[in-house]
């Protein structure tokens, strides 16, 4: 058990809808990272937060947004969903805000299916 | 920009045989290097990491990896695989504040 909790495990929704994915980091970790995993793109970094502040943005679409709350949990909001957004979305946490200093601990992911 | 390449998309190994998964990196400085494993339906789990020092790194589940600067490689090895080792394996380097940059992964199939 990594200590990172993601909910829900599965999400099925229709095109054009909006969903929210939730992540609780491992106890003591201040950084939260969001990744998207699909068959064709592999693991793609989306966004990182450290202690409530956005630190880095990767290949995140404008339709997607995220935030980290004072209790350090994070939410990833996906709107105007398209079929191509179907993927596994992972949250990871680490102690520091630099991926090289401390390992990332991953949740089990949320599988999003857009129909 | 730092990157990793995993040349093998699929590897099939017989149970009990030895395993080597390849990883080549491109990194400006002395790299930190990681291997992660993803079992079906699971998130990624850290197998081992190299920061500095001894170039042969021991990890969990009987895995080891050797850092070879001259070859820009960090190959993962296991002397005898078990059916439970069937999974997706990812090599990674730091992406700065981006967390980690992952390779495309190698899918390991274990034959009985």
Q: Using CA atoms, how far apart are residues B72 and B104, in angstroms rounded to an integer? A: 17
Distance of residue A102 Cα from the nearest chain B Cα, in angstroms: 9
Q: Token digits for B75?
A: 């190959």
CB-CB under 8 Å, A2 with B98: no
pLDDT band at B48 (very low <50, low <70, confident <90, very high): very high
Mean pLDDT of chain A: 92
Count Cβ atoms below 10 Å from residue A108 Cβ, excluding itself. Answer: 19
CB-CB under 8 Å, B49 with A103: yes
Element of type H or E holding A24: strand A19-24
Beta bridge partners of B50: B33
Q: Which residues of A touch B99 (CB under 8 A)?
A: 31, 33, 35, 45, 48, 56, 92, 94, 99, 104
Q: Which residues of A touch B45 (CB under 8 A)?
A: 2, 106
Average pLDDT over residues B9-31: 91
User: Within the 62-91 window of chain A, which residues sit less than 8 Å (CB to CB) from chain B?
Assistant: 90
pLDDT at B97: 59
Count Cβ atoms below 10 Å from residue A41 Cβ, excluding itself. Answer: 12
Check pLDDT > 70 for residue B96: no
Q: Is A23 on the interface with B (CB under 8 A)?
A: no
Check pLDDT > 80 for residue B62: yes
pLDDT at A99: 54
- Of chain B, the percentage scoring pLDDT greater than 70 comes to 95
Q: Which residues of A touch B10 (CB under 8 A)?
A: none
pLDDT at A58: 87
Q: Are A3 and A108 in contact (CB under 8 A)?
A: no
**Among A9-13, A93-97, B37-41, the range of highest mean pLDDT:** A9-13
Contacts of A83 (CB under 8 A, 6+ apart): A15, A114, A115
pLDDT band at B42 (very low <50, low <70, confident <90, very high): confident
* A96/A76: higher pLDDT: A76
Mean pLDDT of chain B: 91
Q: Which residues of B touch A100 (CB under 8 A)?
A: 32, 93-94, 96
pLDDT band at B80 (very low <50, low <70, confident <90, very high): very high
The beta strands (E) that lie in chain B are given as: 3-5, 10-14, 19-21, 24-26, 33-38, 44-50, 56-58, 64-68, 73-78, 87-94, 100-102, 106-111
Q: Using CA atoms, how far apart are residues A51 and A68, in angstroms rounded to an integer? A: 7
pLDDT at B2: 78
Q: Using CA atoms, how far apart are residues A91 and A108, in angstroms rounded to an integer? A: 8
Q: Using CA atoms, how far apart are residues A18 and A114, in angstroms rounded to an integer? A: 10
Contacts of A41 (CB under 8 A, 6+ apart): none
* B101/B47: higher pLDDT: B47
- Classify the C-alpha dihedral B53-A1-A89-B22 as positive or negative: positive
Average pLDDT over residues A8-16: 97
pLDDT band at B38 (very low <50, low <70, confident <90, very high): very high
A57-85 exposure pattern, b = at least 16 Cβ within 10 A, e = fewer? ebebeeebebebeeebebbbebeebeeeb
Count Cβ atoms below 10 Å from residue A40 Cβ, excluding itself. Answer: 6
pLDDT at A96: 77
| 3-class state of residue A88 by DSSP | strand
Interface probe, candidates B49, B97, B102, chain A, greatest A C-beta count within 10 A: B97
Check pLDDT > 60 for residue A100: no
pLDDT at A110: 97
pLDDT at B18: 97
């Amino acid at each position: 058990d990594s200590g990172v909790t993601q909910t829900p495990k599965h999400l099925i929704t229709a095109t054009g809808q909006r969903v929210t994915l939730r992540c609780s980091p491992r106890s003591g970790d201040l950084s939260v990272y969001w990744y998207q995993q699909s068959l064709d793109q592999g693991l793609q970094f989306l966004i990182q937060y450290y202690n409530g502040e956005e630190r880095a943005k990767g290949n995140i679409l404008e339709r997607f947004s995220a935030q980290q709350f004072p209790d350090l949990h994070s939410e990833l909001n996906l709107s105007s969903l398209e079929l191509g957004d179907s993927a596994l979305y992972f949250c990871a946490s680490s102690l520091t805000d630099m991926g090289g200093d401390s390992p990332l601990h991953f949740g089990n992911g949320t599988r999003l299916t857009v129909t | 920009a730092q990157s990793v390449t995993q040349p093998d998309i699929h590897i099939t190994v017989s149970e009990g045989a030895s395993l080597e998964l390849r990883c080549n990196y491109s990194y400006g400085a002395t790299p930190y290097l990681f291997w992660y494993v993803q079992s079906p339906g699971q998130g990624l789990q850290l197998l081992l990491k190299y920061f500095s020092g001894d170039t042969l790194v021991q990890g969990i589940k009987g895995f080891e990896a050797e850092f070879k600067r001259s070859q820009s490689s960090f190959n993962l090895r296991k002397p005898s695989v078990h059916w439970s080792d069937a999974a997706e394996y990812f090599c990674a380097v730091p992406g700065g504040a981006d967390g980690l940059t992952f390779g495309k992964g190698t899918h390991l199939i274990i034959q009985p």
